[in-house]
């Protein structure tokens, strides 16, 4: 009976067999295009807002940049301010670096000074090639009005002389128009220095075992033991220090190399630092003293480090890196070192520059005054 009735079934009638057959065909059609949600999502998907959000097109994943992506060399070199330098300044920079061998800090300062003059002249439609002394005087006067001190003005005059001298050598000028400029008289100020007690407190401030403390101790010891400039300190490399002989090979101003003896305490602090450096940074910058990321420390970073250590030591004296260089020279001379030896260790080209430290030992002056004054 069932077989007979199925043969006479009216098309489109909803028997149990036809319903199941249609459902099977529907599943077959949609299974390849429809993605079935997980069981946990099917329960509340019909009415939830999160379900609607989940059906949106996924956002493209952010591409994470590497920590040290190579920086392509710009086609138009720029200064520290980010502005493109004139071609004349770029040639001047190469001349100072390659032919005169000046330090990067001095080259940057000279380029900035010369660039400011060229911009100042361009604003006033002055041809710098035919500038008279009065033009330079007007520029320097405005620089002074902006708050530039005597030492910065003297450096600016040196930069202008060097720039126009280079232009004359290259045949672009018949003579150097800045040749007759005279630097202002600089005030003769006595450099400050730390006492023996304050120097000892500062050197003892980084007393921890962390990487920052061990590195800080080594850097302070080298500044005080060798009288280095901060640029010389952060520019040291592991091969610059001869541990066996106790010498430090220092590259000073004007690419002048000198050998400075290192105190045993400084070498011991450096050995402790090198152990942490090698364990922390497998492949790193070639410089000796590195920051947390394995890159060379900057002058500003060390200045902040020094101030923090000064606060830990409880010192009231404002600290700056050159203060330890002054302290080194003063303590060496007051301890009996001869002036010529201290000059060599400091890297001074002129003995009169070192001679200023002979006036800083106030205790020796008081003793001489008490001994030789008629009233005792």
CA 329 – CA 332 distance, rounded (Å): 5
Sequence-distant (≥ 6) Cβ neighbours of residue 43 within 8 angstroms: none
Q: Residue 251 corresponds to which tokens in the numbers above?
A: 């590259």
What residues form DSSP beta bridges with 206?
none
Q: Which residues are catalytic?
A: 229, 253, 322, 325, 348, 357
CA 250 – CA 248 distance, rounded (Å): 6
* Dihedral, CA of residue 194, residue 246, residue 228 and residue 265, to nearest 10: -30
For residue 223, give the nearest of 346, 145, 328, 97 by alpha carbon: 328
Kind plus residue range of the DSSP H or E element containing 225: helix 211-226
Q: Residue 309 corresponds to which tokens in the numbers above?
A: 């250590």
Per DSSP, 296 falls in state B
What would the DSSP string read from start to end of 60-129?
A: PPPPPPPTTPPPPPPSS-B-TTSPBPPHHHHHHHHIIIIIS---HHHHHHHHHHHHHHHHHHHHTT--GG
For residue 288, give the nearest of 345, 225, 237 by alpha carbon: 237
How far, rounded to the nearest angstrom, does the alpha carbon of residue 223 sit from its chain's CA centroid?
Answer: 18
Sequence-distant (≥ 6) Cβ neighbours of residue 215 within 8 angstroms: 273, 276, 277, 289, 290
């Amino acid at each position: 009976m069932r077989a007979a009735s199925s043969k006479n079934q009216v098309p489109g009638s909803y028997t149990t067999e036809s319903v199941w057959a249609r459902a099977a065909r529907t599943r077959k059609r949609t299974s390849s295009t429809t993605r079935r949600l997980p069981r946990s999502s099917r329960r509340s998907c019909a009415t939830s807002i999160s379900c609607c959000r989940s059906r949106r097109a996924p956002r493209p994943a952010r591409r994470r940049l590497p920590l040290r992506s190579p920086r392509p060399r710009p086609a138009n070199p720029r200064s520290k301010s980010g502005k493109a330098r004139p071609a004349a300044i770029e040639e001047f920079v190469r001349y100072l670096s390659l032919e005169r061998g000046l330090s990067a800090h001095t080259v940057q300062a000279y380029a900035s000074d010369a660039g400011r003059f060229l911009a100042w002249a361009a604003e006033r439609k002055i041809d710098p090639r035919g500038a008279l002394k009065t033009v330079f005087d007007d520029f320097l006067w405005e620089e002074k009005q902006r708050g530039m001190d005597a030492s910065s003005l003297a450096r600016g005059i040196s930069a202008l002389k060097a720039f126009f001298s280079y232009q004359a050598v290259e045949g672009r000028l018949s003579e150097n128009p800045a040749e007759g400029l005279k630097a202002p008289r600089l005030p003769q100020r006595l450099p400050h220095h730390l006492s023996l007690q304050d120097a000892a407190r500062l050197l003892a401030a980084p007393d921890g075992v962390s990487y920052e403390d061990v590195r800080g101790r080594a850097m302070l010891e080298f500044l005080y033991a060798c009288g280095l400039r901060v640029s010389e300190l952060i520019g040291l490399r592991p091969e610059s220090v001869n541990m066996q002989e106790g010498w430090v090979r220092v590259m000073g101003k004007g690419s002048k190399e000198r050998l400075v003896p290192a105190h045993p305490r400084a070498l011991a602090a450096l050995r402790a630092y090198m152990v942490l450096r090698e364990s922390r940074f497998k492949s790193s910058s070639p410089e000796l003293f590195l920051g947390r990321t394995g890159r060379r420390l900057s002058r500003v970073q060390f200045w902040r480090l020094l101030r923090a250590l000064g606060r830990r030591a409880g010192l009231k004296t404002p600290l700056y890196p050159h203060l330890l260089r002054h302290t080194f020279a003063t303590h060496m001379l007051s301890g009996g070192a001869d002036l010529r030896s201290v000059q060599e260790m400091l890297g001074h080209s002129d003995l009169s520059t070192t001679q200023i430290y002979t006036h800083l030992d106030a205790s020796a002056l008081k003793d001489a005054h008490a001994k030789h004054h008629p009233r005792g």
